[in-house]
């Protein structure tokens, strides 16, 4: 790839972010900042019970309160056939409860008032009569005959949602029969929540004069959401405009459609006034898309020397009250079948069963490409357990089983085609950076002194950038993505994409792609996303798909423009296209570099001096359908010290070596990795949405859903190797999720490693001080 100058700022330049200027001045425009004339406020009334019969909803008192404009109930919505809405995964979800409630904090009624304060007062006046029902919280009991059937609306009178399997069962079972060594681990990836700092919300604005509905909403996928509103609400799609303004973090939380959005729309249609609905934090944690809740068992079969022969995985997936997983329709367990990891072995079999419980719905991809985090965690844990059983160093075992570089593209036993990789290179760099050998020595000495120190390694492989349209769609919509570039007469440009940044820095990185391909300085390129009236259609930003898909679309669109520019350049230089060479920013005559035309000259000519037979203007659109997914990877190594007295785990060092192919903006990539590692840390040690036996949410506010502060967060050491994707136009792979996918195993492996000499093989996340202390007590380390 040609290197551009810092002035142009193409690929590989750490240029400062274009979006920052407004944010550092407090001039961002988030949904709650949207203020429209005549705007009113909506507030949800929610169920305190996890499972209860809805006997009556009395809205009279609430309606009598001055300033209250409407109180909408499930019965009201039922009249408009809107009491239920489809989820993104072949299920339906109650917008407002009718009949019964299925999880604590489920939406029961929607109050609309002149201001927030009145709406909150009125919500308290809505009288709801419940009859409590037996509660199902343990997914393992979901299919017990004794358990209540939760979903009376379904044909099938069972709490079982789906069974999904992939791989060659008989060959795998055979490999296990013949195996010299078998290792297994049962690991629960606890239910957690992305908790972006901005909660979900919207302003629905129906203009009765024009018949146009504008919805400003916290949406990671505005175009898909517009289509769903059209299909579900029966509103002509051209009359719906979805605008995603600045978004205060998404991490998957802002992919689904939530009842609050629908209620705000219904209220605006009814009242003809703009209706704002903004979640509180507790509502966000207790009712919107959770992640994980995978109860997994992995078994590895291997030879004595550590060569892995087979993997067998059985998983129970807790989806809560509705299957609101936001994932490709052909994949009920997302891309969980990436669970074979970075290792080369012939046999694998993986099965997943999904069940309903009385918990909030979801199963969204929390900073992860559809269950890839669960998969990476499981295999990296399993490999460590195998290393323990073999009394082998986990690094040695990994190296022995890595897919060799000459095997790419590699066909995995569960059917994926890994595009490219050099796992050993990333591993070796990480080992050198952290000084692995010396640390192992230190560990031995410490153990002799009775001190606890551990080293955790994770060599993860991701699968991102969904996806080839033939295999990937969400709710039927194919997972391509788009870019539209217009070059203005003065050589400046505007680009619009089907994706939507939530902090990833698209306004900067997409501009750098244009700069790379056309030589127009990134500073001269404006990037716009999130307005469905102006941006080309796309599936949005999640699953690390922006760079792999829309980024590719941007490059291809730019190349279309360059093709046309070449014709114009030839016309201006009075030569044939064949005589021209390109360097970022200009075409010049082969052998006569002084005879050249800059992209700016060409842009001007595109509107002022067009060659015969060529249409005016300089713009292009591309809808990119990736030939394959991309497979970012890396090796993370974590060093922990354990305080025997308190059970506290201190992360002493953490080295992250990532390989995301060619890098657009190293500064932004590092920022993404810092953030993802911090979320991984939180998942490994702090974050959990738990439920007690009555279905009460434990961890339903920031009091008990623990997000690390700067004090708990260690200093992250990052580095890179570069193995470009062979099929991506820029050789890029995407990186936003790698650190969150790869790090939990590194943390847990480190803690288990520190305790392995005591016979510890696994500890479930979140690894709290009391869990560690309990282990130490069991093992007689503390009295």
Partner 1 sequence: MIPPAFEYLRPSTIPEAIAFLKQYGDEAKILSGGQSLIPMMKLRLARPAYLIDINRIAGLSYIKEEDGHLKIGGLTREAELEHSPIIQSRFPIIRDTAHVIADPQVRNLATVAGNLAHGDPANDHPATMLALGAKVVTTGAKGERVIPIEDFFVTLFTTALQPDEIVTEIRIPLPPARSGGAYLKLERKVGDFATAAVAAQVTLDGSGTCQHVGIGLTNVGPTPIKARKAEAFLRGKKPDEATLRQAAQLASEEAQPSADLRGPAEYKKGLVKELAYRALSRAVERAGK
Partner 2 sequence: MAKKQLVRVKVNGRERQAEVEPRLLLVHFIREVLGLTGTHVGCDTSHCGACTVVLDGKTVKSCTMFTPQADGCELMTVEGLMQDGKLHPLQEGFKEEHGLQCGFCTPGMLMSSYALLQHNKKPSEEDIRWGISGNLCRCTGYQNIVKAVQYAAGKMELGGAK
Partner 3 sequence: MALRIEKTFQVSEPVEKVWSLLSDPAKVASCVPGAQITEKIDDKTYKGSISVKVGPSVTDYKGEVQILRLDPQNHEVEIQGKGQDVRGRGSASMTMTGKLAVVDGGATQVTSISEVNVVGILAQMGSRVITEVSNIMFDKFTQNFQELLQQQPTGQPAAVVAETKPEPVEAGSIAWQAIKQMFRRLLQAIKNLFSGAEERS
As annotated, the active-site residues are 220, 367-368, 737
Output 238 or 280, the one with its CB closest to partner 1: 280
Q: Give the CA count within 13 Å in the CB-facing half-sphere of 681.
A: 27
Output 716 or 773, the one with its CB closest to partner 2: 716
Q: Which of 421, 503, 585, 734 binds partner 2 (CB under 8 A)?
A: 503
- Using CB under 8 A as the binding rule, whether residue 481 contacts partner 2 is answered as no
Report how far residue 315's alpha carbon sits from residue 667's, in angstroms, rounded to the nearest whole number: 38
- Using CB under 8 A as the binding rule, whether residue 505 contacts partner 2 is answered as yes
Residue with tokens 């997994």: 296
Distances from the Cα of 590 to the Cαs of 1, 199, 572, 577, 611, in angstroms? Answer: 19, 56, 15, 10, 21
Q: How far is the CB of 690 from partner 1 (least distance, A)?
A: 8
The one segment of 9-17, 494-502, 536-544, 697-705 that binds partner 3 by CB under 8 A: 697-705
Output 116 or 174, the one with its CB closest to partner 2: 116
Task: Output DSSP code: residue 548.
Answer: I
Report how far residue 773's alpha carbon sits from residue 260's, in angstroms, rounded to the nearest whole number: 43
Output 752 or 772, the one with its CB closest to partner 1: 772
Output 130 or 604, the one with its CB closest to partner 3: 130
Q: How far is the CB of 527 from partner 2 (least distance, A)?
A: 16
Chain residues that interact with partner 1, rule: CB under 8 A: 116-117, 119-121, 124, 280, 645-648, 686, 698-699, 704, 706-709, 711-712, 768-770, 773-774, 777, 782
Q: How far is the CB of 280 from partner 3 (least distance, A)?
A: 12
- Using CB under 8 A as the binding rule, whether residue 218 contacts partner 2 is answered as no
| Binding at 45: pick from partner 1, partner 2, partner 3, none (beta carbon under 5-8 Å per type) | partner 3
Q: Which of 84, 251, 624, 631 binds partner 2 (CB under 8 A)?
A: 251
- Using CB under 8 A as the binding rule, whether residue 281 contacts partner 2 is answered as yes
Whether cis (ω within 30° of 0) applies to the bond prior to 654 is no
Output 191 or 488, the one with its CB closest to partner 3: 191
Q: Answer whether 524's CB lies under 8 Å from 9's CB.
A: no
Report how far residue 62's alpha carbon sits from residue 589's, in angstroms, rounded to the nearest whole number: 77
Helix, strand, coil % in the chain, rounded to nearest 5: 30, 25, 40
Site for partner 2 in 685-704 (CB under 8 A): 701-703
Report how far residue 121's alpha carbon sits from residue 448's, in angstroms, rounded to the nearest whole number: 64
Q: Which of 144, 445, 707, 779 binds partner 2 (CB under 8 A)?
A: 707
- Using CB under 8 A as the binding rule, whether residue 49 contacts partner 3 is answered as yes
Output 616 or 711, the one with its CB closest to partner 1: 711
Q: How far is the CB of 59 from partner 2 (least distance, A)?
A: 22
Q: Residues near 334 by Cβ (< 8 Å), separated by ≥ 6?
A: 325, 327, 328, 365, 369, 370, 371, 372
- Residue 20: helix, strand or coil by DSSP? helix
Short-list 503, 62, 539, CA closest to 246: 503
Q: How far is the CB of 149 from partner 1 (least distance, A)?
A: 31
Binding flags for partner 3, 285-304, as an x/- string (CB under 8 A): -x------------------
Q: Give the CA count within 13 Å in the CB-facing half-sphere of 102.
A: 25
Report how far residue 573's alpha carbon sits from residue 611's, in angstroms, rounded to the nearest whole number: 12
Size of the site for partner 3 (CB under 8 A): 24
Q: Residues near 250 by Cβ (< 8 Å), separated by ≥ 6?
A: 194, 196, 218, 220, 502, 503, 541, 542
Burial class of 265 by CB neighbour count within 10 A (0 to 12, 13 to 18, 19+): buried
Q: Answer whether 379's CB lies under 8 Å from 311's CB.
A: yes
Q: Which of 577, 692, 707, 779 binds partner 3 (CB under 8 A)?
A: 692
Q: Answer whether 72's CB lies under 8 Å from 97's CB.
A: no
| Binding at 686: pick from partner 1, partner 3, partner 2, none (beta carbon under 5-8 Å per type) | partner 1
| Binding at 648: pick from partner 3, partner 2, partner 1, none (beta carbon under 5-8 Å per type) | partner 1
- Using CB under 8 A as the binding rule, whether residue 529 contacts partner 2 is answered as no
The one segment of 174-182, 534-542, 585-593, 691-699 that binds partner 3 by CB under 8 A: 691-699
Q: How far is the CB of 300 from partner 2 (least distance, A)?
A: 32
| Binding at 20: pick from partner 3, partner 1, partner 2, none (beta carbon under 5-8 Å per type) | partner 2
Neighbour tally for 61: CB within 10 Å: 14
| Binding at 700: pick from partner 3, partner 2, partner 1, none (beta carbon under 5-8 Å per type) | partner 3
- Using CB under 8 A as the binding rule, whether residue 679 contacts partner 2 is answered as yes
Report how far residue 357's alpha carbon sits from residue 141's, in angstroms, rounded to the nearest whole number: 9
Output 282 or 297, the one with its CB closest to partner 3: 282
Handedness of CA 276, 236, 480, 379 (dihedral sign): positive
Distances from the Cα of 726 to the Cαs of 443, 562, 626, 729, in angstroms? Answer: 41, 22, 12, 8
| Binding at 773: pick from partner 1, partner 2, partner 3, none (beta carbon under 5-8 Å per type) | partner 1
Output 77 or 681, the one with its CB closest to partner 1: 681
Q: Answer whether 203's CB lies under 8 Å from 275's CB.
A: yes
Q: How far is the CB of 187 from partner 1 (least distance, A)?
A: 21
| Binding at 692: pick from partner 3, partner 2, partner 1, none (beta carbon under 5-8 Å per type) | partner 3
Report the Cα 53 to chain-centroid distance in Å. 35
Q: Which of 2, 64, 238, 280 binds partner 2 (CB under 8 A)?
A: 280
| Binding at 504: pick from partner 3, partner 1, partner 2, none (beta carbon under 5-8 Å per type) | partner 2
Report how far residue 108's alpha carbon sits from residue 98's, in angstroms, rounded to the nearest whole number: 8
Token couple for 755: 């305790």
285 - beta bridge partners?
Answer: none
Report how far residue 169's alpha carbon sits from residue 175's, in angstroms, rounded to the nearest whole number: 10
Burial class of 652 by CB neighbour count within 10 A (0 to 12, 13 to 18, 19+): middle
Output 505 or 647, the one with its CB closest to partner 1: 647
Binding flags for partner 3, 100-139, as an x/- string (CB under 8 A): ----x-------------------x-xxx-x-x-------
Size of the site for partner 2 (CB under 8 A): 57
Burial class of 516 by CB neighbour count within 10 A (0 to 12, 13 to 18, 19+): buried
- Residue 353: helix, strand or coil by DSSP? strand
Token couple for 586: 């200009």
Q: How far is the CB of 265 from partner 3 (least distance, A)?
A: 25
Output 713 or 768, the one with its CB closest to partner 2: 713
H-type alpha helices, 586-712: 599-608, 666-685
In the complex, which residues of this chain contact partner 2 (CB under 8 A)?
16-17, 19-30, 32-33, 35, 116-117, 195-199, 246-249, 251, 280-282, 502-505, 667-668, 670-672, 674-679, 701-703, 707, 709-711, 713, 715-716
In the complex, which residues of this chain contact partner 3 (CB under 8 A)?
45, 48-50, 104, 124, 126-128, 130, 132, 286, 692-698, 700-704
């Amino acid at each position: 790839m040609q290197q551009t100058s810092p002035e142009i700022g193409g690929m590989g330049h750490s240029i400062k972010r274009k979006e920052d200027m407004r944010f550092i001045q407090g001039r961002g425009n988030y949904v709650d900042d949207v203020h429209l004339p005549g705007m009113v406020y909506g507030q949800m009334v929610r169920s305190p019970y996890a499972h209860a019969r809805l006997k009556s909803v009395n809205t009279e008192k609430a309606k009598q309160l001055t300033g209250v404009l409407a109180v909408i109930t499930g019965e009201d919505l039922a009249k408009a056939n809107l009491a239920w809405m489809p989820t993104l995964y072949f299920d339906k979800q109650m917008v407002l409860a009718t009949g019964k409630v299925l999880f604590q904090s489920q939406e029961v009624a929607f109050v609309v008032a002149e201001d927030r304060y009145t709406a909150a007062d009125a919500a308290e006046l809505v009288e709801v009569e419940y009859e409590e029902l037996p509660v199902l919280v343990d997914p393992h009991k979901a299919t017990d005959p004794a358990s209540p059937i939760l979903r009376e609306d379904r044909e099938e009178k069972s709490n079982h949602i789906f069974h999904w399997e992939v791989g060659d069962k008989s060959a795998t079972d055979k490999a296990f029969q013949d195996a010299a060594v078998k290792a297994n681990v049962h690991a629960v990836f606890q239910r957690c929540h992305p908790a972006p700092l901005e909660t979900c919300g919207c302003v629905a604005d129906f203009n009765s004069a024009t018949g146009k509905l504008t919805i400003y909403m916290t949406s990671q996928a505005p175009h898909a959401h517009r289509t769903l509103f059209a299909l579900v609400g029966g509103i002509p799609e051209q009359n719906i405009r979805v605008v995603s303004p600045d978004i205060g973090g998404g991490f998957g939380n802002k992919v689904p459609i939530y009842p609050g959005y629908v209620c705000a729309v219904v209220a605006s249609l009814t009242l003809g006034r703009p209706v704002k609905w903004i979640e509180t934090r507790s509502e966000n944690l207790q009712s919107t898309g959770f992640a994980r809740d995978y109860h997994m068992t992995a078994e590895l079969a291997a030879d004595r020397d550590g060569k892995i022969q087979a993997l067998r995985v059985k998983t129970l997936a807790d989806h809560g009250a509705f299957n609101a997983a936001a994932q490709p329709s052909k994949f009920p367990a997302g891309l969980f079948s990436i669970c074979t990891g970075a290792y080369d072995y012939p046999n694998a079999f993986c099965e997943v069963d999904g069940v309903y419980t009385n918990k909030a719905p979801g199963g969204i991809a929390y900073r992860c490409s559809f269950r890839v985090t669960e998969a990476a965690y499981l295999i990296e844990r399993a490999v460590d357990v195998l290393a323990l059983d073999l009394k082998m160093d986990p690094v040695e075992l990994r190296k022995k089983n890595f897919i060799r570089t000459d095997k790419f593209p590699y066909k995995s036993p569960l059917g994926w085609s890994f595009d490219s990789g050099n796992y050993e290179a990333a591993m070796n760099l990480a080992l050198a950076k952290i000084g692995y050998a010396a640390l192992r020595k230190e560990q031995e000495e410490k153990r002799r002194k009775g001190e606890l120190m551990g080293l955790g390694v994770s060599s993860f492989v991701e699968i991102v950038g969904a996806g080839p349209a033939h295999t990937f769609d969400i709710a039927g919509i194919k997972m391509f993505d788009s870019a539209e570039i217009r070059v203005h007469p003065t050589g400046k440009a505007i680009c619009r994409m089907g994706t939507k940044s939530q902090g990833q820095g698209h306004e900067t990185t997409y501009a750098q792609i244009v700069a790379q391909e056309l030589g127009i300085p990134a500073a001269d390129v404006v990037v716009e996303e999130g307005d469905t009236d102006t941006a080309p259609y796309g599936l949005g930003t999640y699953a690390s798909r922006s760079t792999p898909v829309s980024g590719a679309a941007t490059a291809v669109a730019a190349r279309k423009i360059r093709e046309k520019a070449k014709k114009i350049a030839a016309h201006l230089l009075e030569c044939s296209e064949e005589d021209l060479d390109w360097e970022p920013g200009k075409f010049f005559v082969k052998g006569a570099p002084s005879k050249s035309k800059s992209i700016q000259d060409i842009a001007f000519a595109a509107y002022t001096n067009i060659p015969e037979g060529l249409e005016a203007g300089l713009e292009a659109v591309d809808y990119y359908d990736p030939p394959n997914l991309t497979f970012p990877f890396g090796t993370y190594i974590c060093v922990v010290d354990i305080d025997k007295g308190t059970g506290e785990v201190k992360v002493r060092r953490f080295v992250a070596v990532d390989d995301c192919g060619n890098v657009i903006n190293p500064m932004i990539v590092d920022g993404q990795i810092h953030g993802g590692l911090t979320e991984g840390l939180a998942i490994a040690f702090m974050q959990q949405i738990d439920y007690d036996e009555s279905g009460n949410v434990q961890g339903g506010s920031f009091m008990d859903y623990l997000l690390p502060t700067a004090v708990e967060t260690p200093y992250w050491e990052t580095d890179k190797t570069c193995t470009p994707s062979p099929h991506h136009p820029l050789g890029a792979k995407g990186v936003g999720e790698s650190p969150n996918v790869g790090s939990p195993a590194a943390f847990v492996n480190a803690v288990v490693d520190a305790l392995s000499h005591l016979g510890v093989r696994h500890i479930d996340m979140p690894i709290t001080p009391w869990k560690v202390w309990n282990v130490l007590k069991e093992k007689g380390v503390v009295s």
